[in-house]
């Protein structure tokens, strides 16, 4: 659901990473407090769509929206069962807008810049025992692991197809879990070998 960096020269591309992260936090706060108002939701959706079109183009916007399709299903179906339909749509719209804004930030900012801004922002918390460098390392490892797991899943699907099975099968879940845990063990050993606890 979260986009990858798209090179460009737009105003958002040139803005510093800290300002985009701060803007994302403020937008999330506004949508959390006033997101039940349709005017606020409509304005936020229009701003998000316009910013996507002006900074990364319609192809990136289409890819972002397509990536949200399962989130829509997972959020809407249970809420339609237990809540009034207006509230279900409002709640889902808030989450979709925030995720889209996060996608816009990652589309217009290199991951190294985001992690540097996050580490800098966490430095004032050092007296409380927070280790900004460790948090940045953890996030970078997490982000780099997501495409690896996607690659492992694709390889397992290809192996199933080679054995004559079509489509996605739940049979890949257990081998995927085993391969993911094996990668985690190898990563832990590599970090320990470099002196990281």
pLDDT, position 1: 41
Question: What pLDDT was estimated at residue 16?
Answer: 93
Q: What pLDDT is attached to residue 15?
A: 92
3-state secondary structure the chain: CCCCCCCCCCHHHHCCHHHHHHHHHHHHHHHHHHCCCHHHHHHHHHHHHHHHHHHCHHHHHHHHHHHCHHHHHHHHHHHHHHCCHHHHHHHHHHHHHHHHHHHHHHHHCCHHHHHHHHHHHHHHHHHHCCCHHHHHHHHHHHHHHHHHHHHHHHHHHHHHHHCCCCCCCHHHHHHHHHHHHHHHHHHHHHHHHCCCC
What are the pLDDT tens digits along the chain (197 aa)? 455 778 888 888 899 999 998 998 899 898 888 877 888 888 888 988 888 888 888 888 888 888 778 778 888 888 888 889 888 888 888 888 888 888 888 888 888 888 888 888 888 888 888 888 887 777 777 766 766 777 888 888 888 888 877 656 677 778 888 888 888 888 888 777 777 66
């Amino acid at each position: 659901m979260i986009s990858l960096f798209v090179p460009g020269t737009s105003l958002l591309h040139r803005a510093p990473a800290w300002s985009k992260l701060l803007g994302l936090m403020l937008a999330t706060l506004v949508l959390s407090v006033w997101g039940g108002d349709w005017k606020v939701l409509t304005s936020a959706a229009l701003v998000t769509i316009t910013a996507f079109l002006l900074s990364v183009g319609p192809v990136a916007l289409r890819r972002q929206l397509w990536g949200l399709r399962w989130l829509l299903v997972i959020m809407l179906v249970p809420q339609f069962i237990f809540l009034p339909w207006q509230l279900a749509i409002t709640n889902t719209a808030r989450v979709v807008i925030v995720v889209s804004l996060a996608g816009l930030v990652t589309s217009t900012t290199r991951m190294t810049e985001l992690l540097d801004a996050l580490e800098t922002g966490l430095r004032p918390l050092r007296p409380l025992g927070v280790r900004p460098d460790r948090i940045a390392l953890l996030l970078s490892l997490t982000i780099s692991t997501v495409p690896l797991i996607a690659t492992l899943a694709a390889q397992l699907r290809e192996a199933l197809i080679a054995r004559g099975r079509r489509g996605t099968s739940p049979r890949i879940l257990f081998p995927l879990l085993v391969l993911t845990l094996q990668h985690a063990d190898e990563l832990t050993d590599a970090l320990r070998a470099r002196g990281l606890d």
